[in-house]
């Protein structure tokens, strides 16, 4: 399939590029140094309609398609993965509402999210339940018109600043007493307690938290789908958002490659640019080929999601695993081209290397992606 971008997608790419160069590039290193959430960049992204990309037009968004989302995330990630997480996190935290919400729920939550007036988080992972969703321990017990939620969540992006969270819990069937995974739209309030901010090696401009939920009330009206639909919803969300993680990886690989090419042109040894050395040329060529392959696979996976292709889950897993593994390789190669300079904060490849590692881990480790891919190929029973 030819992925020559149409005029609308090219215009999106150019507008995001311009915004990133104006607002993000001058501060990318600073954000890594000081951490925290850059509210001014969030406002710029809201005003520039970047945060509206994950949402359908009828709820104030620009379409809600995966391919435009991948293109925008890639452009931001070339400069700062921390800032790209603003867009990826807003998509991840809201996707369950878009996928499984009633019309009333969509009208209630999505317009403010699309405007950037409110922020979203995705509350799935727990201390003892990451890839194994069935092992969730957080419970939601019906009490009149509310669920009373008790438990803890771990590694929640923007858990400290989000206004709403798509929260995965175990509900109890009153007839069979069976516990089922369900999904609630939780609105911040009493009982939503941030117990810890994680100190990470990378993406320091994106906050990650541990949450303790104690007698936390969520209206029954905020249940997405039916009780017991949570596992299916969680998997549908990840099928969509994994292409965003792949796009982060592609963007970072391209950013590192661009840095290495510029360095190879300008850095002199024995009076000549190191880019004249065949060994450097071979390395740059390999980095270029692999980055282009990852980009094509990522765009294909996003396009398959937008077309509701039956293989979209397998392709999103392929894109996420391939691109994130590739990013570590390409960024490592860029550091090698820069030599000792690549190991210092003078150049962004040092930060990119630290930021890229988590892409092999979050939204399902790459080992899990390989299981998803293999089982898709082998069929039921494996």
Cα separation, 213 vs 264, in Å, equals 52
The encoded tokens of residue 344 equal: 């210092």
The encoded tokens of residue 301 equal: 């996976």
Helix (H, G, I), strand (E, B) or coil at 216: strand
367 is catalytic: no
Identify the helix (H) or strand (E) that includes residue 223.
strand 223-224
6: CB partners within 8 A, 6+ apart:
none
Q: Is the dihedral of CA 229, 233, 236, 238 positive or negative?
A: negative
- Pick the closest to residue 246 from 326, 327, 320, 353 (CA basis): 320
> How many H helices and E strands in the chain?
11, 10
Alpha helices in the chain (DSSP H): 7-19, 28-34, 39-47, 66-77, 81-100, 103-114, 230-266, 278-306, 312-338, 349-356, 366-378
The encoded tokens of residue 275 equal: 């880019």
Q: Which of 74, 126, 227, 363 is catalytic?
A: 363
Angle between helix 278-306 and 66-77 (nearest 10): 150
Cα separation, 203 vs 337, in Å, equals 23
271 half-sphere exposure, CB direction, 13 A CA radius: 0
Contact 83, 134 (CB under 8 A): no
| Strand 223-224 relative to strand 179-187, pairing | antiparallel
Show which residues are catalytic. Answer: 363
């Amino acid at each position: 399939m030819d992925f020559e971008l149409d005029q609308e997608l090219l215009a999106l790419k150019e507008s995001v590029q311009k915004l990133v160069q104006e607002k993000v590039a001058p501060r990318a290193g600073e954000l890594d140094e000081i951490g925290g959430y850059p509210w001014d960049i969030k406002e710029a992204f809201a005003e520039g309609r970047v945060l509206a990309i994950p949402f359908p037009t009828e709820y104030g968004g620009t379409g809600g398609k995966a391919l435009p989302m991948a293109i925008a995330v890639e452009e931001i990630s070339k400069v700062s993965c921390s800032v790209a997480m603003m867009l990826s996190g807003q998509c991840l935290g809201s996707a369950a509402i878009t996928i499984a919400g009633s019309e009333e729920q969509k009208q209630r939550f999505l317009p403010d999210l699309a405007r950037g007036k409110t922020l979203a988080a995705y509350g799935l992972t727990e201390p003892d339940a990451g890839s194994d969703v069935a092992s969730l321990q957080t419970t939601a017990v019906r009490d009149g018109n509310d669920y009373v939620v008790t438990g803890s969540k771990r590694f929640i992006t923007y858990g400290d600043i989000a206004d709403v969270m798509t929260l995965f819990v175990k509900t109890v069937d009153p007839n069979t007493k069976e516990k089922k995974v369900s999904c609630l739209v939780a609105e911040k309030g009493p009982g939503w307690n941030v117990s810890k901010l994680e100190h990470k090696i990378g993406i320091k401009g994106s906050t990650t938290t541990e949450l303790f939920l104690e007698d936390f009330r969520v209206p029954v009206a905020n249940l997405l789908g039916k009780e017991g639909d949570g596992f299916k919803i969680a998997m549908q969300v990840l099928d969509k958002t994994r292409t965003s993680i792949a796009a982060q990886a592609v963007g970072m690989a391209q950013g590192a490659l661009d840095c290495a090419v510029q360095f190879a042109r300008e850095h002199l040894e024995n009076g000549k640019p190191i880019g004249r050395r065949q060994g450097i040329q071979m390395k740059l060529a390999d980095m270029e080929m692999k980055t282009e392959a990852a980009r094509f696979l990522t765009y294909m996976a996003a396009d398959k999601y937008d077309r509701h292709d039956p293989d979209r889950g397998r392709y999103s897993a392929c894109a996420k695993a391939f691109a994130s593994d590739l990013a570590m390789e390409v960024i490592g190669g860029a550091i090698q081209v820069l030599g000792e300079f690549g190991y210092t904060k003078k150049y962004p490849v040092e930060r990119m290397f630290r930021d890229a590692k988590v892409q092999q881990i979050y939204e399902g480790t790459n080992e899990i992606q390989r299981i998803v891919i293999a089982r898709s190929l082998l069929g039921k029973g494996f």
